[in-house]
Amino acid sequence: MNERLANIKQEILEGIKEKATSRAAAFELRKQFLDSKAGKIGQLMKEMKNIAPEERANFGKSVNELKEWAQNQFQELDERMKKRELEARYESEKIDVTMPSKRGKTGNLHPITQMRNQLIDVFAGMGFEIYEGTEIENDYYNFTALNTPKDHPARDMQDTFYLSPEFLLRTQTSAGQIHVMEKDKPPIKILSPGRVFRSDDDATHSPMFHQMEGLVVDKKITLCDLKGMLDMFVQKIYGENTTTRLRPSYFPFTEPSVEVDVSCFECGGKGCKLCKGTGWIEILGAGIVNKKVLENCGINSDEYSGLAFGIGIERTAMLKYGINNIKLLFESDIRVLNQIDDN
């Protein structure tokens, strides 16, 4: 009998060594010995009746000892297996948190929007407020009130899309100046971004483009104020070492009128392809608001003066990002747009 017990013990030890490769396998193995009905140790108890009465107590004790021993063995086995499986899981699910992450694809704002936002940032920092006008204007706001009456030759400078004899697609954000000056009394300091339209189409002109109008009306506004603001603008957009120069020009609604050049940010003024060897690049039109325009809006031109400027957003962006054809800004080619992420 003792031999049978020893064999079972041996069988258990071998089973643990050879068959118990997982928690599930260990559980199955345990069942073979310790299942209350079919288990080999349980079966031994049933043989009690075949044992001589004087040996029964001893036999019972030995079987119980074996049972206890087996339970301990399987308990330990189960714990070992649990630990091993947990470690395997940790190993397979291991992540290196120091690895660089995969960059998700994100879109970026359109270059014109980026440029518009940058310009708004610069001028908002100087205290300008935004006024957004309408794209459809009447002749009065777009031209007449801006000192450009019907027979004025300056109308030729802006080839206009008329919707009717009275209404048109605004050719310039300057139309907003009149709305603002009719509505508000000085001091006025507004920035007016928006779309404008001209029948014009080549590598640097598009029938629809964007402008950013600036208007300041207050006591004693001079060209010095204009130059100071524009210097600040070019330094923020094209770099700290850039500056501006003013050249005489003509617009009906400003007197004097100036064309503003920025010192070439590509060559630092030495002369290169971008500035066509001159060291300067023309960037915008500006001037001191014509007294007649102030009077048209009911502002006393002896008491107040104003400055105005009109920035072409496409042109500013094309210069900054090295874009040589304005069409690239309107074709929505993702390969082009992806390259310009400045915000």
Question: What does the binding site for ligand PHE look like in residue numbers (CB under 6 A)?
Answer: 172, 174, 251, 254, 285-287, 308-310
To the nearest whole angstrom, how small is the minimum distance from the Cβ of residue 118 to ligand PHE?
Answer: 19
To the nearest whole angstrom, how small is the minimum distance from the Cβ of residue 262 to ligand PHE?
Answer: 16
To the nearest whole angstrom, how small is the minimum distance from the Cβ of residue 107 to ligand PHE?
Answer: 31
For ligand PHE, which is the closer residue by CB, 26 or 188?
188
Q: How far apart are the first and last CA of the chain?
A: 88
For ligand PHE, which is the closer residue by CB, 70 or 284?
284
- My answer on whether omega of the bond before 256 falls inside 30° of 0, hence cis, is yes
For ligand PHE, which is the closer residue by CB, 174 or 244?
174
For ligand PHE, which is the closer residue by CB, 15 or 306?
306
For ligand PHE, which is the closer residue by CB, 237 or 293?
293
Q: How far is CA 295 from CA 190, 291, 315, in A?
A: 19, 6, 32
Give me the helix-helix angle, 53-92 and 2-18, nearest 10°. 0
Of 123, 112, 117, 114, nearest to 309 (Cα)? 123
To the nearest whole angstrom, how small is the minimum distance from the Cβ of residue 238 to ligand PHE?
Answer: 19
For ligand PHE, which is the closer residue by CB, 20 or 317?
317
DSSP 136-202: EEEHHHHTGGGT--TT-GGGGGS---BSSSSEEE-S-TTHHHHHHHHH-PSSEEEEEEEEEE-S--B
For ligand PHE, which is the closer residue by CB, 73 or 173?
173
Query: Residue type at 12?
Result: I
Query: Residue type at 122?
Result: V
Q: What secondary structure, in 3-state letters, does 268-316 show?
A: CCCCCCCCCCCCEEEEEEEEEECHHHHHHCCCCCCCCEEEEEEEEHHHH
Which is it for strands 129-130 and 188-197: parallel, antiparallel or unpaired? parallel
What whole-number distance in Å separates Cα of residue 217 and Cα of residue 143? 20
Residue with the two structure tokens 């700290």: 240
To the nearest whole angstrom, how small is the minimum distance from the Cβ of residue 196 to ligand PHE?
Answer: 7
For ligand PHE, which is the closer residue by CB, 63 or 307?
307
To the nearest whole angstrom, how small is the minimum distance from the Cβ of residue 236 to ligand PHE?
Answer: 20
Of 269, 146, 283, nearest to 204 (Cα)? 283
For ligand PHE, which is the closer residue by CB, 141 or 251?
251
To the nearest whole angstrom, how small is the minimum distance from the Cβ of residue 329 to ligand PHE?
Answer: 18
Other C-beta atoms lying within 10 Å of the C-beta of residue 58: 12
To the nearest whole angstrom, how small is the minimum distance from the Cβ of residue 300 to ligand PHE?
Answer: 21
- Residues 308 and 214: beta-carbon distance below 8 Å: yes
To the nearest whole angstrom, how small is the minimum distance from the Cβ of residue 191 to ligand PHE?
Answer: 12
The residue at minimum Cβ distance from ligand PHE is 310
Of 228, 230, 224, 199, nearest to 212 (Cα)? 230
- Residues 289 and 308: beta-carbon distance below 8 Å: yes
